Homo-oligomer: A and B are copies of this chain.
């Protein structure tokens, strides 16, 4: 029984009142008596009118109650990554409470314009793979909150990545030892490779570079050589990318004594790889991770890593967005998790 769609005007006519009254009944209860309002609402229900058309409201009010979550790259990957999906959970819980809806947007899209006009605001999780999107977002006069990177003029949610990386590296490095780094998204390449002399991605926006800075600072303090041949670029945490890098790093001779990994997924891959080759962790190889995902606590040995709360990040980002103009950037805490891999 698919009914013909009624408009507010139809309803007003049918009930013999003005359109304004119907509109007010739905949107501004203070503009009419409670009794009248109840009557109208009841009558609307009766005749099958479920309220003002949302598309028209969006145009008229310039507000849709939709928030776009711009992910770093494609949606597919992000939903399957434990860190990202935990973040999404945080965001969605706050939005749901605020009666807002969540639109997932891919950071590798051509443009943001096809939603920019009707969305109420943007949460940007990681620098969008397509840098044009960041540019477009800045031009927009809509609230934007960035997470794990910065965009001029937008409040952001971050942890102190440099410091976190420094601290964990200081724990893991041996004085004058050999250390390698399995980095995440360091250069512009879709495949796993060593960094060598490739230009690093825009270092202002990338958390990877804050982490790299922290590792470097610690390596200097510990008199470890810094060598671009021992720094890997991994395009994303999942898939086989990390495994390839893990195999490469473990087949170097002499082998690094410490490997600093920019995500837990990478570190777990390395750990599994090492154990399967009979390499003793941490006696023969020390490994550190980054993120603090659940799975990293369930391995033997437990991964030594930097814990950050992705749920909290998501919640904070959503709250910041809802605050609107006067929102300030937030730096969240992290914690070192002392596992058994160093």
Chain A interface residues (CB < 8 Å from chain B): 1-3, 5, 50-51, 53-56, 58-59, 62, 64-66, 74-76, 79-80, 85-86, 88-89, 92-93, 96, 99, 101-106, 111, 113-118, 139-141
Would you call A66 and B117 a contact (CB within 8 A)? no
Cβ distance A243 to chain B, nearest Cβ, rounded Å: 14
Which of B74, B102, B114 is close to A75, meaning CB atoms less than 8 Å apart?
B102
Which of B5, B55, B85 is close to A64, meaning CB atoms less than 8 Å apart?
B55
Q: Work out how many copies of this chain go into the complex.
A: 2
User: Which of chain B's residues have a CB closer than 8 A to the CB of A88?
Assistant: 75, 79
Cβ distance A86 to chain B, nearest Cβ, rounded Å: 7
26 contacts between A and B (CB under 8 A): A1-B139, A2-B140, A54-B113, A54-B118, A55-B55, A55-B64, A55-B117, A58-B118, A65-B114, A74-B92, A74-B96, A75-B88, A75-B89, A75-B92, A76-B89, A76-B93, A79-B88, A79-B92, A80-B86, A96-B106, A101-B104, A101-B105, A101-B114, A101-B115, A102-B103, A103-B104
**CB contact under 8 A between A115 and B79, given known A102-B103, A141-B2:** no
Cβ distance A7 to chain B, nearest Cβ, rounded Å: 11
A117 and chain B: residue at smallest CB distance: B54
A112–B122 CA distance with the chains assembled, in angstroms: 23
A323–B260 CA distance with the chains assembled, in angstroms: 49
A90 and chain B: residue at smallest CB distance: B76
User: Which of chain B's residues have a CB closer than 8 A to the CB of A50?
Assistant: 111, 113, 116
User: Which of chain B's residues have a CB closer than 8 A to the CB of A101?
Assistant: 103-105, 114-115
